[in-house]
């Protein structure tokens, strides 16, 4: 299978929304997606294409030398193909390009697949937010990774 990582633009807004609705129990609304795509100063979204179809994406944010993975999703039918790994690698590359010293993210405590991915990149758990997620209720684990 041939996949391509691209920088996302307003042209992919609908496709991002479709991924949000397919993957998350509480998806970002179109206005949130539009805001992220328009915030060129602090945010960058990258997507993975398969046969010209967006099948996953990552939203990165950079503020004052700190990066954050705001969102990452891959359609269920494309999981297990290392696409999350490729997206995260590209997101961290963006953070390094912006001279970030550290990167943070939050993940559901019960999402062992995602946690294993983040830990394989050197992210370390540094905190927990009780009942942070809804539908279903779950704690958030806060991770950080030093980039330098």
pLDDT digits (tens, 9 = 90+) for 52-91: 999 999 999 999 999 999 999 999 999 999 999 999 999 9
- The answer on pLDDT for 146 being more than 80 is yes
Res 2 pLDDT > 90? no
pLDDT at position 148 is 83
Residue with tokens 């983040």: 118
pLDDT at 1 over 70: no
CB atoms within 10 A of CB 45: 24
CATH of the domain at 130: 3.40.630.30
* Contacts of 142 by beta carbon, 8 Å cutoff, 6+ apart: 104, 105, 106, 125, 126, 127, 128, 129
Tokens 């390009």 sit on residue: 97
31, with CB counted inside 10 A (0-12, 13-18, 19+), is exposed
Q: What is the pLDDT of residues 24-47, one digit of tens each?
A: 999 999 999 999 999 999 999 999
Q: How many domains does the chain have?
A: 1
Cβ(103)–Cβ(95) below 8 Å: yes
Q: Which domain holds residue 130?
A: 3-146
Q: What does residue 68 show for φ and ψ, rounded to 5 degrees?
A: -145, 140
Helix (H) or strand (E) holding 127: strand 124-133
């Amino acid at each position: 299978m041939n996949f391509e990582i691209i920088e996302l633009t307003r042209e992919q807004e609908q496709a991002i929304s479709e991924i949000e609705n397919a993957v998350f129990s509480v998806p970002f609304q179109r206005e949130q997606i539009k805001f992220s795509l328009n915030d060129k100063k602090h945010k960058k979204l990258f997507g993975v294409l398969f046969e010209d179809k967006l099948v996953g994406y990552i939203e990165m944010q950079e503020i004052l030398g700190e990066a954050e993975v705001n969102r990452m999703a891959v359609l269920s039918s494309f999981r297990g193909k290392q696409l999350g790994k490729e997206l995260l690698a590209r997101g961290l590359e963006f953070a390094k390009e912006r001279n970030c010293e550290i990167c943070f993210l939050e993940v559901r405590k019960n999402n062992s697949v995602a946690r294993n991915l983040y830990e394989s990149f050197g992210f370390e758990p540094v905190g927990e937010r009780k009942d942070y997620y809804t539908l279903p209720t779950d704690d958030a684990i806060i991770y950080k990774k030093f980039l330098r």
